[in-house]
Structure 1
């Protein structure tokens, strides 16, 4: 028994070593990162879409009663929720916990810093935006109007260019933290579709959307603009298109966030008024 156990451990260790070599020498090798990460993101989206459909059909009775478009949107929102959780965690790691963009690290200008992992994560996110944009076009305007198409198109270009150039990744990750609001937005759609608009959960969700949006899509962007201002001497040294992306994309998204925030406030007031 001891011999079998030791052999099993050695086999597992061998597989681990092979996996580490695959990740280090191929997936995270600089020439292949953009391709493997985007393809990985596309594959992950497909897997998340199919898993959402499988789980929903087994555990949610209301799923079978949905129309074809609603079922696609249901699965699509499951996919976007998983991406949002993944990219929010990774963005917070790079912006707050990792020393990659630390001010105290003597490793050149922060606007030019990148790593194989930070580039790979951006590629996965680019794969998601590519898939979601394709679904939006395919079913346009059933899953969202032109504002959603514009948001995804701008996000895709910014993420992809930052991934390929290696510049401005800090600000790209700051903007991607705003994806933290996506799970609550998707949950609201699920509750509405399931006929739970009058439930207590729906009200709590509305309050959660308000505060998460305020922090992640309003206050965070204000801080980002302040950070760009403080490091403007570094920003101006980047390529012209990247400079345009750093100044233009957050500004465009911030305006859209404010317009959506006004709708969120209006909707929350309406929900609270009905409960008085």
Structure 2
């Protein structure tokens, strides 16, 4: 009994020390950006292994892929999970949360919260991990346009994360990640030899409308919001001001370029159905 009591006390002591460590360091305000980024990178590894495990047991196509195709399969699974997470978080902050409401006094470009900061940290962790994968296997996981996209997105997220500024426009741009799952499903269906299936056609139509909403109309709204709040955008430092104007413009150009390819592909698919 004495030994058990001492053991219990020792365990309780270690638990208390661990709680203090987590509260005072890992989740302390100054450390939230760093811990969330590390958490994002770690989550990517966990998601990669999870996709690999599930695919091995439940998808017959997976066993017939070569090494590079399996890596891309797993990597697209990770990007799909991240896209769903950050798109939902972005929609919440932009349209449902009161954090960036015009009814609240103060500059909208200087507002942030613990939740908005940690969510951006997780997203930055993903962009770092995914960019590393793209560069490691370049150009198998994506060409120069993907490198540019990740650098622009990662830089914007990093600025917002570590300065606490520009969260609103960063989240507005990140809503566009909601089109990523459709793009990945298209690749999965193509890889599985289902390019002529109804599922492929339906996904193509969904991807088209999702792209119009999240990468065309959304960016028109972003530019309108920047214009109507330009005095607040000007309050940012020089680099922040450049990001607020330059990144949405560059992404909008890339979105239009990709949209042209999507439209062309959809027309080609529909023509084959006739």
User: What is the TM-score with the length of structure 1 in the denominator?
Assistant: 0.91
User: Is the CA contact (8 Å cut-off) linking 1:37 and 1:120 kept in structure 2?
Assistant: yes
The answer for the alignment partner of 1:264 in structure 2 is 262
Aligned mates of 1:210, 1:27 — CA distance in 2:
42
Corresponding residue SS for 2:98? coil
The answer for the alignment partner of 1:232 in structure 2 is 230
When the two chains are superposed, the root-mean-square deviation of aligned CA atoms in Å is: 1.7
The answer for the alignment partner of 2:252 in structure 1 is 254
The answer for the alignment partner of 2:79 in structure 1 is 80
Match of 1:220 among 206, 218, 221: 218
Corresponding residue SS for 1:104? coil
Aligned mates of 2:97, 2:128 — CA distance in 1:
27
Aligned: 1:117 with 2:121? no
Corresponding residue SS for 1:217? helix
Question: Between Structure 1 and Structure 2, how many residues are aligned?
Answer: 260
Q: 1:20 to 1:105 in 2, by over 3 A?
A: farther
Aligned mates of 1:225, 1:21 — CA distance in 2:
45
The answer for the alignment partner of 1:33 in structure 2 is 32
1:125 CA drift (Å): 0.3
Corresponding residue SS for 2:30? coil
The answer for the alignment partner of 1:143 in structure 2 is 141
Aligned mates of 1:22, 1:101 — CA distance in 2:
32
Aligned mates of 1:199, 1:104 — CA distance in 2:
49
- What per-residue deviation string (whole Å, max 9, x for no partner) do you get for residues 35-65 of structure 1? 1000000000000000000000000111011
The 5 Å alignment of 1:31-180 reads: 31-106=30-105, 108-180=106-178
Corresponding residue SS for 2:29? coil
Aligned mates of 2:262, 2:244 — CA distance in 1:
27
Query: Gaps spanning 5+ residues in structure 2: where?
Result: 1-14
1:30 CA drift (Å): 1.4
1:117 CA drift (Å): 1.1
